[in-house]
A and B are shown apart, each in its own frame.
Chain A
Amino acid sequence: MRTASWNESVSVLDRVTAVFDAFGEQDEGLGVSELARRANLPKSTVSRIAADLVAQRFLDRDGDLLYLGIRLFELGQTVEQPRTLRRLALPVMSELRGITGQTVHLAVLEGADVVFVAIVRGQPTASPLARIGGRLPAHATALGKAILAFSPSTEVNTITSGELEKRTPHTISDPALLMRELVGIRRLGAATEKEECAVGRACTASPILDHGGVPVAAISVAGSIEDLDPDRVAPAVRAAAMTLSRRLSSDRGA
């Protein structure tokens, strides 16, 4: 743990981040003790940070429980990159959903994970695997593999040098195997997976490239293994990715 004082900036931001990250995926309220345990910080420190963050509405207090606050919601709504991507992608995604009848995802790569920025659901009743703003490990998803296949090898190496978590018995956890798969994906322009991320689910994804050929996101069609043949939807996914890549380039050029 850092020994720097509360007033030293690096330490303040680190601690604030530790507090934010202690909140899970669900909308759950945490007490100061639980927050301190998860953030691995002294309770007195967390108590002080929390009071400051509540005063600024970055956290909300309801009785003894703290929640991520409304000001984070506001800032989150303003972030430019996902907004631009969503604006350009939603018509393309709706069309792809219309063609395939399945759920369509758009995600970007962040470190070793993909972060979902837009979702157009196939059947409204289908239980969602992803949510907007949520993360999944890149190596275990078609979206992540599609982006990695077109990424510089240094970026891929950073990921493969870490542990490749086995989410299901089918997840590719061997770096050499993953590298070989990426070569194939690069040739085909589409990545597929069956039960590599979640049992019973399949997915096909293609990268969205900027005019320099750098992947900025990926688009995918996902469904249950009974309903979705990943190879059959590949041409439609590839076409949607190309349309979106073009829209993105002309938007940037404008």
Chain B
Amino acid sequence: MSAVQQANILGGRSLREAWRTPEALAPTLFIPVFFLIVNFGQAGKIFPSDSTGFLHGQTYAAFQLPISLLLAASFGTAALFLVEDIEGGYFDKLRAAPVSRSALVLGRLLAEFVKSAAITTVLVIVALPFGVSIASGPVGFVLLVLLTSLWAVVFSGFMQLIALKTRSAAATNSGGLVFFPLLFLTPNFVPRDMLTRPMEIAATLNPVTYVMEAMRWLVLQDLAWEPLARGFGVVAVLGVLMVALNVRVIRDYD
């Protein structure tokens, strides 16, 4: 059996685990929707769609949707389940099987990709009543789901690294918080050129900015090569890095 087949089997188990823990899944949906509604409610009047150029004729909720999607993709429940496996001894049972070490970490990342794709779809549907549409059409929608799900893999890979290194739920939870400032050092309320200079510099240096801008482009405008290349480039580089680090850590895991 190939490593890919093994990762598929383990991914299926992780999806079952997520499905059977709705209490862990609920915040992943609720909090992003909450932020979408609150941010739209607070700033919707400041940025009316007919006189705000950067909205391209849509409501401010469309501008906010990528932040909610990124937030949803940046919950680290998969890594916490991994810590549970480690603490409960099930991870050792898996390690004692002739399973590719890479499959042990890739299975969860694969599940995270699928889970994120489903959650992204749900969130886009939830956003529709707020005047949001995907301006780049069906292809743009698919790319939006793909980009968000790849980001979920990057973030889960980061969390999984902490889990494998520390084997502690508390440390994994805290480690995830380190990533959160990066989500907010972005042009999350207005476009980058409207930020104060220090904030603009910080946002420009932050790779998450390019993922957010690519997602925003897909929601507000037609398909365009440059912003998408930057967004997908960031997730590709970080994704490869996270997977490589995960595989390295699991191979040395004692």
Chain B binds chain A: no
By a beta-carbon cutoff of 8 Å, the part of chain B in contact with chain A is none
Interfacial residues, chain A to chain B (CB-CB below 8 A):
none
